[in-house]
């Protein structure tokens, strides 16, 4: 069976190019005449592909390009401060994520350190929506012992307030915002990154259309990683 040129039928999962474009792939060039190819040889060394149709490989190319574009765009994540989390909770599946672990994860998303395009001098982070901040979970007696200080540099102007009083006056969203602010780098990008944190006391928020979903499960909620695995397995079987 004759081999086909990799530029005519290219599959991102089997062929690797040395010269890549902006999104890590070359633009596909369809065979002359628009015919669909049912079978072709598979060899990573020579750059050929196997058992792929033009329609299917174009679909895989679009999905691969979409996943890569997510690294260059700002994605909306949603996290519940009251629901148990599989990785952030001290007791997975039993207790909600603690304030420190939740703030650490949010700071990582706001900085964009989970992306391959992360750079400390650029603002490449995502948006984070946190719900149910009124039920913010803290361990031990931090809720009554943790004290926040502020000073306007004038003598005798030191002010202090405990966490429970701060939650009663401004809600748990302010406590979470202070925790995340302390975990962000102290530079000119901190205010911009902190502005992308949207914290709400309840479950309702106006950003439901912005949050990316996998199988009707918003990113950040329990079960979204299983939905991603199921979608990838279905795509691999279809190809």
How far is 55 from 61, CA to CA, in rounded Å? 10
Domain ranges for the chain, please list them.
1-72, 74-221
pLDDT given at position 111: 94
Q: Output the CA–CA distances (angstroms, integers) from residue 129 to 95, 115, 143, 173, in the order listed.
A: 20, 18, 23, 11
**Inter-residue contact 71 to 112 (CB < 8 Å):** no
How far is 5 from 119, CA to CA, in rounded Å? 37
List average pLDDT for each run of 10 residues in the chain, which is 239 residues long. 40 37 41 41 45 52 59 84 79 81 93 88 91 91 94 92 94 95 95 95 87 66 70 71
Q: Concatenated DSSP letters for 66-125?
A: HHHHGGGSPPEEEEESSS--TTTSSSTTTSPPBHHHHHHHHHHHHHTTTSTT--TTS---
pLDDT given at position 6: 38
pTM, to two decimals: 0.64
**Inter-residue contact 118 to 186 (CB < 8 Å):** no
pLDDT given at position 188: 95
Sign of the Cα torsion 199, 136, 227, 57 reads positive
- CA proximity to 90, closest of 101, 105, 78: 101
Sign of the Cα torsion 113, 116, 119, 123 reads negative
Task: Please give the CATH superfamily to which domain 74-221 belongs.
Answer: Ribosomal protein L13 (3.90.1180.10)
Q: Give me 170's structure tokens.
A: 């401004």
Residue 107, φ and ψ in degrees, nearest 5: -60, -35
How far is 93 from 19, CA to CA, in rounded Å? 45
Give the other-Cβ count within 10 Å of 103's Cβ. 23
């Amino acid at each position: 069976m004759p081999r086909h040129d990799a530029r005519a039928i290219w599959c991102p999962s089997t062929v690797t190019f040395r010269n890549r474009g902006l999104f890590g792939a070359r633009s596909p060039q369809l065979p002359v005449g628009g015919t669909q190819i049912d079978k072709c040889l598979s060899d990573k060394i020579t750059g050929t592909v196997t058992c792929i149709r033009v329609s299917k490989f174009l679909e895989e190319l679009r999905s691969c390009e979409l996943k890569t574009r997510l690294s260059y765009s700002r994605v909306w994540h949603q996290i519940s401060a009251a629901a148990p989390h599989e990785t952030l909770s001290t007791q997975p599946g039993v207790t909600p994520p603690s304030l420190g672990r939740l703030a650490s994860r949010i700071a990582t998303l706001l900085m964009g350190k989970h992306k391959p395009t992360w750079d400390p001098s650029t603002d490449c982070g995502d948006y984070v929506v946190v719900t149910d901040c009124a039920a913010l979970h803290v361990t031990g007696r931090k809720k009554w012992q943790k004290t926040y200080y502020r000073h306007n540099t004038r003598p005798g102007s030191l002010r202090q307030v405990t966490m429970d009083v701060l939650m009663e006056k401004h809600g748990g969203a302010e406590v979470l915002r202070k925790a995340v602010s302390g975990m962000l780098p102290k530079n000119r990008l901190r205010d911009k990154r902190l502005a992308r944190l949207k914290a709400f006391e309840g479950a309702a928020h106006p950003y439901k259309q912005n949050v990316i979903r996998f199988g009707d499960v918003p990113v950040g909620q329990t079960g979204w990683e299983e939905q991603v695995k199921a979608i990838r397995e279905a795509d691999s079987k279809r190809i």
